Amino acid sequence: MMCQECGQRKANVQVTLIENGQKTELHLCQECAHKRGTLGPFGGPSITFHNILAGLFDPSNLVAGSQLQYKQTKRCANCGLAFSDFRRLGQLGCSECYTTFAAELMPMIRRIQGSTEYKGKVPSNGSAVNTQRQLGDLKKRLQEAIVQEAYEKAAELRDEIRRLEADKSVQ
């Protein structure tokens, strides 16, 4: 296969880019791969420890060749903190930062915590609170099942909701 960049030499480097869920493959010769910055000084991939860490915090910032290219950062109107400052410091400047950087923070929080919804702690004898939470979760899952047209699952969820509501009224 010929190099897709220059079209003159044999391609011996394959670069796979994944951006916004779209996979793109490039077949390059050694020289074009070096020009693009895809290969490091010893002919291997130019992956640095800094690039790996930065990719963990915001993988959307990684671009071809594992080189980082940051978007223009916005600042909090209240305290003036930039998102790059948050990444460097590891803490936000004020409560308004949560609103300002919500788009950047939510995927990070979801990745670390598994959810962006705060469930809180409930005492072991807090059965009424647990029942309310369980009912809310079941109703949410019921709506999702209806939207997905999974009617058998929806019927099971409906019956479970009715059972919990009947148990709640008995107490």
- Calpha distance 50→57 (Å, rounded): 11
Which pLDDT value is given to residue 156?
Answer: 93
Distance CA 17, CA 4 (A): 14
Structural domain containing residue 150:
127-170
Domain membership flag for residue 33? yes
Please state, in angstroms and rounded to a whole number, the distance separating the CA atoms of residues 75 and 84: 9
Specify the 3-state DSSP secondary structure of 2.
strand
Query: Does residue 3 belong to any structural domain of this protein?
Result: no
pLDDT tens digit sequence for 39-59: 544 444 445 555 555 555 555
User: Would residue 134 count as lying in a domain?
Assistant: yes
Judge contact between 138 and 168, C-beta under 8 A: no
pLDDT band at 77, cuts 50/70/90? Answer: confident
Q: What is the model's pTM?
A: 0.34
